Amino acid sequence: MNNAEPVIFGEKHLRIEDLLAVAQSRAPARLQSDAAFRERIARGAQFLDTLLDREGVIYGVTTGYGDSCIVAVPLHQVEALPQHLFTFHGCGLGKLLDAEATRAVLAARLRSLTHGMSGVRIELLDRLQAFLEHDVLPLIPEEGSVGASGDLTPLSYVAAALAGERDVLFRGETRSAAEVHRQLGWTPLTLRPKEALALMNGTAVMTGLACLAYARADYLLKLATRITALNVVALEGNPEHFDERLFAAKPHPGQMQVAAWIRQDLAIEAPTAPLHRLQDRYSIRCAPHVLGVLADSLGLLRQFIETELNSANDNPIIDAENERVLHGGHFYGGHIAFAMDSLKNLVANVADLLDRQLALLVDSRYNHGLPSNLSGAPAATAMINHGFKAVQIGTSAWAAEALKNSMPASVFSRSTECHNQDKVSMGTIAARDALRSLELTEQVAAATLIAANQGVWLRQLSQTARPLPAPVQDMHAALGEDFPPVIEDRALEGELRLCLQRIRAQHWGLYA
């Protein structure tokens, strides 16, 4: 990581890939350091101090929070209010975010605060950057946010850790935040008026998770395309289904791209007569149409996610230049909710597609001469071997769960907090759902990939088999290093888990 170009958090527009480089510890995070930037950040906090001197009324600074905005907070209690905010929100439950997701959350919050419209000190941004630099990761429960007023409860764990409270992950161990501050020679921050609110009243958790989900979906698209090409070879399908002229007649760009990738994998240069069926079944013939919807949607999803990532999304917005406090609702995560609900649907369709392809592969009625369940056993033991039978059952279960999970979260808004938060986004639940759908679909992809490779191996045993196209041959050889042919039955859990590791590490380079 030390040799990587740093990701600068400041006025520069960040892409999903920038945040991922930080979240995955492939690049260091640095705060923009010029004097003009630091002065612009400082002006927000200075303007708030001016208003306090004039006894101005500022939501969350001189008032209570949420429905309690009608409750005035006297000036002698203003300094205590931020601690109360992160303290009473310390009620998250569920699993803890993993290290990668936690870094994504810290990076997303840092980017939002660098707009200078949140009324925080530059020292707060410095400390957030230092948390990323030294990998001090607050332990954040993933459940408890309705997505407006932002990710209050999970982000309270960030605010508390900055103040030296609660626990963090540091150098592989769970430690108290206070201990880690002492070890690093830091003084815990005493959060000033508006700072706890600025940290918590935003969309950093759902946005950080959305960035992770986007990257996984982008790779899954390419992997599912490669799996389809392997299955065309294994099933001796009709390559004319991917003809360039055919897709020119219905020119959705992503659909055309998927068909082009398959043509590239199959090394199609001239029309080739089908060996078995004039028209393959839909899970093969219509793969570009299914995967093309995901391909065409990624651009819109990127726009939604990156706009949110590069926004000031707390409340109130502090306009120090014009000396105004703007009360609004930028903590509402509707765009992320829509993006993640959409992604769940798109990804579930990929799971369903690959599950159907695997069902064709294992069924001797439809696989054009391959052994039942793709077993490689010789005749003497064929009757007691079952190859990929159970893998296909498991794949069906994973696909079914991904399909069940496609119910949109955003339509389940709940009125909360004395009906102040009476319409909420559910964006964080949608993002968590999307990651779960991706996990399930990656499991489907792992199973189908290993099975497709087995099918290619079995097909090559035939004396009438066509030579493998170079891209398919290369992938077949690469997979063979980790996943040898299944001849006699063996438990495949370990190989499936290894394949999942390879998928999540984006191990195989897939298309330019």
Residues with active-site annotation: 59
Q: Give me the helices (H) in 30-176, please.
A: 35-53, 81-88, 99-113, 122-134, 152-162
- For the chain, how many helices (H) and strands (E)? 18, 9
Angle subtended by helix axes 427-460 and 493-504, to nearest 10: 120
Question: What angle, rounded to 10 degrees, do the helices at 81-88 and 152-162 form?
Answer: 130
- The two tokens of residue 400 are 């079914």
**Angstrom distance (rounded) from CA 305 to CA 303:** 6
How far apart, in whole angstroms, are the C-alpha atoms of residue 472 and residue 263? 11
Quote the tokens at residue 241: 């289904």
**Which residues are CB-neighbours of 285 under 8 A, at least 6 positions away?**
237, 238, 241, 279
Q: Using H for helix, E for strand and C for coil, what is the string for 160-179? A: HHHCCCCEEEECCEEEEHHH
Question: Residue 116: which region, alpha, beta or left (left: phi > 0; alpha: psi -120 to 50)?
Answer: left
Name 168's bridge partners.
138, 175
Query: Could you give the C-alpha distances from 392 to 350, 370, 486, in angstroms and in order?
Result: 16, 15, 14
3-state secondary structure of 325: strand
- How far apart CA 440 and CA 287 sit, in angstroms, is 19
**DSSP notation for 431-448:** HHHHHHHHHHHHHHHHHH
Q: How many CA within 13 A on the CB side of residue 158?
A: 36
Q: What is the DSSP secondary-structure string of 80-104?
A: GHHHHHHHHT---EEEEP-HHHHHH
Coil, strand or helix at 506: coil
- Angstrom distance (rounded) from CA 132 to CA 145: 23
